[in-house]
Chain A
Amino acid sequence: MSNQPLFWIFALLTCGGAVGVVISQNIVRMAFSLIVSLGSTAGLFFLLEADFVGATQLLVYVGGTLVLLIFGVMLTASGPFQQIRVSPGETFLGAAVGLLLLSVIAFTVIDVEWDTLNAARTEASPGAESGNTARAIGLRLVGIPADHEIGVHEGRGGRTGYLLPFEIVSIHLLVVLVGAAYLARAKRRVADGSTGGEN
């Protein structure tokens, strides 16, 4: 890989941001470290020629989730320089969960035969090699399978690409939307219980 040094820089930034989130005790600095970490992850995606995933990472995580997080900070922060203290039990539990996740990821990375996988990937969609993946993803999403020649096997049914998952995604988003609205309303009811407004 010719972009090895750049990849290392972004990988270090990602890990450094993640470590910063863990080490820092100031919630605002944690949020900033998370921005660094998630933004560098987007950089890693771009370097791996996954342009759509990288853009989505920037759009959804850096642009959306972090805004939510900062609003969360604004909701909870009760004073400047508030420190978060954790009990030893929580530290132990967090470390155990983190190490378990790390071992799962490490074993997965070791187990995968990357050379075979790369060859298969190049064969499946040659355009993906140059970081041009959005159109290929779009074709799969509207229901064209990877090995389907448009207009050639048009009559054959039964092969629909990822059309069904695509539509299921929208159902999932609907569930999340309704659930989030419901939870927020429940919280508000608790917050101003004096009005007793049933919504």
Chain B
Amino acid sequence: MIDFLNHFLLFTLAGIGMLLVPLAIGRLVRPRLPSPEKDAIYECGEPTIGSSYVQFDLRFYVVALLFIIFDVEVAFFFPWAMVYGNAMQLADGNLGDEARRTLTNRLLTAPGEVGQEITADAAHWLGVTGLIDILVFFGVLLVGFAYVWKRGDLDWVRAVANAPTSADRS
């Protein structure tokens, strides 16, 4: 518990520090010689055209929507992957007793009694079942992916790609 807390604190503080230290060093070291060119927005000599507050293309939004779906899907993959990897290690028949016990305890996240280790057969069964589960899970989503792909939502240059089709239909 304390160990976990220390990790968490270290991570938070390192994250803040790594951001602040380069900024502070830059502030102390850099020369300060402003000129109108440097004060320009991109400071590379190119004058900007118009404002950046334009309405962006809807395609960005669609891609972000699709991204979130697969983001959630990937989040569900992580616990499965941990179990699958562990089960496949346990499915190795040549594993020593000590290693088998360690892996069992890790898989069940609980210290088990001696003699309660998961056998290679059971682990193999677990791994194969898990693989089928995730293939069904992923297969259902692939249907959606195929649908989106087929309907052309993934075509970035959409207008050009679809122009002849819509002209044909109408």
Contact = CB atoms under 8 A, between A and B. Distances in A.
A54 to B, nearest CB: 10
Contacts of A72: 61
A139 B83 contact: yes
* Chain B CB within 10 A, most for which of A52, A55, A142, A199: A142
Contact of B65 (A138, A170, A184): A184
A80 B52 CA distance: 9
Given A65-B68, A127-B108, A130-B4, A71 B60 contact: yes
Interface in A55-69: 55-56, 59-60, 63-65, 67-68
Contact of B133 (A59, A129, A167, A187): A167
Contacts of A71: 56, 60-61, 64
Nearest to B3: A130
B156 interface: no
Given A59-B71, A151-B121, A180 B66 contact: yes
Interface string A119-143: 0000001111111111111110111
A79 interface: yes
A112 interface: no
Contacts of A176: 69
Interface stretch (A18-26, A98-106, A188-196): A188-196
A184 B9 contact: no
A15 B15 CA distance: 22
A187 to B, nearest CB: 6
A166 B76 contact: yes
Contact of B82 (A78, A135, A143, A174): A135
Interface residues of B, number: 73
Contact size range, A:
35 or more
Contacts of B72: 60, 64, 173
Contacts of B76: 141, 166, 169
Interface of A: 2-3, 6, 43, 46-47, 49, 52, 55-56, 59-60, 63-65, 67-68, 71-72, 74-80, 125-139, 141-144, 149-151, 154, 163, 166-167, 169-171, 173-174, 176-178, 180-181, 184-185, 187-188, 191, 195-199
Interface of B: 1-2, 4-5, 8-9, 12, 51, 53, 55-56, 58, 60-62, 64-69, 71-76, 78-84, 86, 106-111, 116, 118-119, 121-123, 125-126, 129-130, 133-134, 136-138, 140-141, 143-145, 147-148, 151-153, 159, 162-163, 165-166, 169-170
